[in-house]
Amino acid sequence: MTAPALEVAGLTVSYRRAGEWAAVVSGVSLAIDAGEAYGLVGESGSGKTTLALSVMRYLPRNGRIDAGAIRVDGRDLARMGERDLRRWRGTRLAMVYQDPASALNPALQIGDQIAEVYRFHRGAARGEALRSASDALQRVRMPDADAVLRRYPHQLSGGQQQRVVIAMALAANPRLLILDEPTTGLDVTIEAEVLDLIAALRREIDSAILLISHNLGLVARMCDRIGVMYAGEIVEEGRAHEMFKAPRHPYTMGLLRCLPRFGATKQDTLLEPIPGTLPFPGDRIAGCVFHPRCVLARDRCRRDAPELLAVEPGRRSRCHFSEEVATMPHQVPAVSPRSGPAPHERLLEVTGLRKTFRGPGQGTVAVRDVSLEVMRGETLGLVGESGSGKTTLARCLVGLTEPDGGELTFAGKHAPWRGRDRGPALLQMMQMVFQNPDTTLNPSWTVRGILGRAVRVFLGLRGRAQSRRVAELASGVRLEPRYLDLRAGQLSGGLRQRAAIARALAGKPALAVCDEPVTALDVSVQAAILELLLELQATEGVAYILISHDLAVVRYLADRIGVMYLAQLVEIGEAAAVFAGPQHPYTEALLAAVPVFDTETAPPPIRLAGPIPSLAHPPSGCRFHTRCPRKLGAICEQQEPPWLDAGEGHLIRCHIPPEDLRNLQVKNGHSGNGHAGDRPNPPPSPRADAVTSGGPGSPP
């Protein structure tokens, strides 16, 4: 029999901290065959990346392999010398890291960095190595590969950087490819391209893949088998479609309950965070390591550590009550329907917002004639690829960036755009929660000091009244009192984000703009943050503008959704209407690109042709026509599309009438069919009134 591409047997890995060794991976065993994709999921700190670094023999100086074997094609890397390891890395095994920018040398051109692989492993001369580097970039579908060779990493987008790293990893056709969160932070369209690329190359070179991710939809789509890690142990393993359909460990079930299924809403589903936190490395827990957080825990769980045993063919679970887990529901119904907003109370109104960033030569229009409104107690979701103008729009709304033009009305009164021209009352009423809480929390202050200052500035409270309000804020965001006297840098990412939300809500604002508030957080922390936002909305009446590239999260939280592309709104309407269709072709492609773990509800894929155009030089006519799978022809290239009413306030900026869009999308399976380059049957020519009605600017 052929040896597995990767075989890990009884691996135990420890880190030295404060003079003591603590195990972070304990007795892990797994095997991956050639051509197989194996997914590894679990919360941060569960040991996934440590396992990957152990396989690559890239552990830091304070890490060591205590026991076990790591075999690639039958050779034990754990006992291999450094010289042999250098030859194996890149030829037999390669790794793609979560942050491609940190894996690329900022001082070297892309061509030299890729060529280095061929020069080291194949002894190629510089000219031959550069030609091979060009071929490698074409292999990963990099547009204008020869031009990219002459660029530096900072001159590439995140998706392009990730393609470069993948090209380097695949340069020598490795037997094993390790992917550590390869698409975190990428747009769903770029993520879909990267996944398609990896799947195609996997078939081409028959390599084994170890994929590490907290995105269960991505893992379900990419992998044949999945291992679930918790506190350094594999607690469940099995085939991907079976694992998510019928999990057999409470931790796997807990992960599923944290995620909104594609199309789930706050009215019908309750996200249920896993209680508690992961044990600290080195903590000794009697019995099952998961029992302190498990809803099924009993005396036996606290006393006897379960073994990883077969529960059915191809399935293993480390649980005393795995049969009982199989009967648990995947989603928790909402206790009572959560009421929507009062549609007659308008809080925010924006008309004709424009923002241009001036630079050498022509300026870049980041927001172009955007008009929208937000009701009291409502959540408006904003989606679109990076560079579409969402964050610039948000910064203009809260007064951090001054636009070139447009009107702003808040609570029925005209409001200035510049933050320094806004009075204390308006500053208090509009706050922002940023994607990275590190940018908004003073690292030299304690959380108590940060919240206390916000309470003092916005509410004028001091002394005991200030302390009471700080305690209320901490309680409201589930931040335990023991964390209040710690600095931001001493908190986990989830705790920092809770502190940032508390700071934004300190003055009881009417509107909070949330820019990617749960990006890159563990699914359990994400669920806690989303439910927290909903609870605060119900109790405080806060309205939200939610910016996110996670469309499942937006659908769950938002009452209405706006879709932006190249500085313009292209669709806006009730969330249910936007998801049900008809949809703008761009929205259709975004929804089709979302990786879902429930493959039965996954729409057929649509791949957009070509790169995202530059905002400095946007296409003429419809800005989406260069990538649109539904393009009509000259009218799309030459004329800006009008706003068309799809019914009940659902507006779409497109030359194709809504009913024709609906027929096309239903005919082709909800969200289209095939790649953008494989055009479906052309839609009927637009009616004359559809082309001339409305206007190219703001929604009617």
In this structure, the answer to whether residues 368 and 481 fall within a common structural domain is yes
The structural domain count of the chain equals 4
Q: What is the pLDDT of residues 9-30, one digit of tens each?
A: 999 999 998 889 999 999 999 9
Same domain flag for 381 and 500:
yes
Quick one: pLDDT at residue 451?
96
Banded pLDDT at 688 (limits 50, 70, 90): very low
How much of the chain exceeds pLDDT 90, in percent? 55
Inter-residue contact 427 to 419 (CB < 8 Å): yes
pLDDT score, position 678:
36
């479609």: which residue's tokens?
Answer: 241
The pLDDT value recorded for residue 691 is: 35
Is the same domain home to 324 and 350? Answer: no
C-alpha distances in Å from residue 306, one per residue of 90, 234, 309, 320, 342: 38, 11, 9, 6, 52
C-alpha count within 13 angstroms, C-beta hemisphere, residue 355? 26
Give the count of beta carbons closer than 10 Å to the beta carbon of residue 40. 27
Query: Is 450 found in the same domain as 354?
Result: yes
**10 lies in a domain?**
no
Give yes or no: residues 555 and 616 share one domain: no
pLDDT in tens, 215-244: 888 898 899 999 999 999 999 999 998 888
Per-residue exposure over 539-568, b if at least 16 CB sit within 10 Å of its own CB, e if not: eeebbbbbbbbbbbbbbbbbbbbbbbbbbb
The predicted model scores a pTM of: 0.86
Structure tokens at 504: 């934004």
Label the pairing between strands 643-645 and 75-76: unpaired
For residue 464, what are its two tokens?
């005991």
Instruction: Give residue 673's pLDDT.
Output: 35
Which of 130, 155, 172 is at the close of a domain? 172
**Which two tokens mark 28?**
């892990």
Alpha helices in 598-657 (DSSP H): 634-638
Residue 164 within any structural domain of the chain: yes
Domain stop point among 279, 299, 333: 333
* Range of the structural domain that residue 429 is part of: 346-561
- Looking up tokens 């637009």 gives 686
Q: Which two tokens stand for residue 493?
A: 């990412």
Q: CATH number of the domain at 464, please.
A: 3.40.50.300
pLDDT 10s digits, 312-361: 999 999 999 999 998 888 777 765 555 554 556 899 999 999 999 987 76
CA distance 10 to 69: 7
Domain co-membership, 405 together with 381? yes
Tell me the HSE value of 78 on the side-chain side, using a 13 A CA sphere.
Answer: 20
Give the pLDDT confidence score for residue 602 in this predicted structure. Answer: 61
Looking at the fold, whether 295 and 393 belong to one and the same domain comes out as: no
Residues 352 and 291 in one domain: no
pLDDT at 671: 43
User: Does residue 404 fall inside a structural domain?
Assistant: yes
pLDDT in tens, 527-565: 888 988 998 888 888 999 999 988 889 999 999 999 999
523 and 641, same domain (yes or no): no
Residue 546 main-chain phi, psi, to 5 deg: -105, 115
Asked if the structure places residue 145 within a domain, the reply is yes
Domain membership of residue 62 (yes or no) is no
By DSSP bridging, strand 674-675 and strand 606-607 are parallel
The chain-wide mean pLDDT, for the chain, equals 87
Fill in the DSSP letter of residue 439: G
* Interacting residues of 289 by C-beta distance below 8 A, sequence separation 6+: 230, 231, 232, 233, 279, 305
- Lowest-pLDDT choice from 158-167, 287-296, 685-694: 685-694
Q: Are residues 362 and 449 in the same domain?
A: yes
- Residues 329, 352 within the same domain: no
* Amino acid in position 535: E
Rounded Cα distance, 439 and 430, in Å = 18
Asked whether residue 512 is assigned to any structural domain, the reply reads yes
Residue 597 is assigned to a structural domain of this protein: yes
d(CA 622, CA 357): 22
439 falls within a domain: yes
SS3 label, residue 68: strand
pLDDT exceeds cutoff 50 at 584: yes
The span from the CA of 625 to the CA of 508, in Å, is 44
Query: Comparing 307-321, 559-573, 625-639, 675-689, which segment has the lowest mean pLDDT?
Result: 675-689
Last residue of a domain, one of 526, 561, 596: 561
Do residues 150 and 299 share a domain?
no
Split at pLDDT 50, 70, 90, the class of 97 is: confident
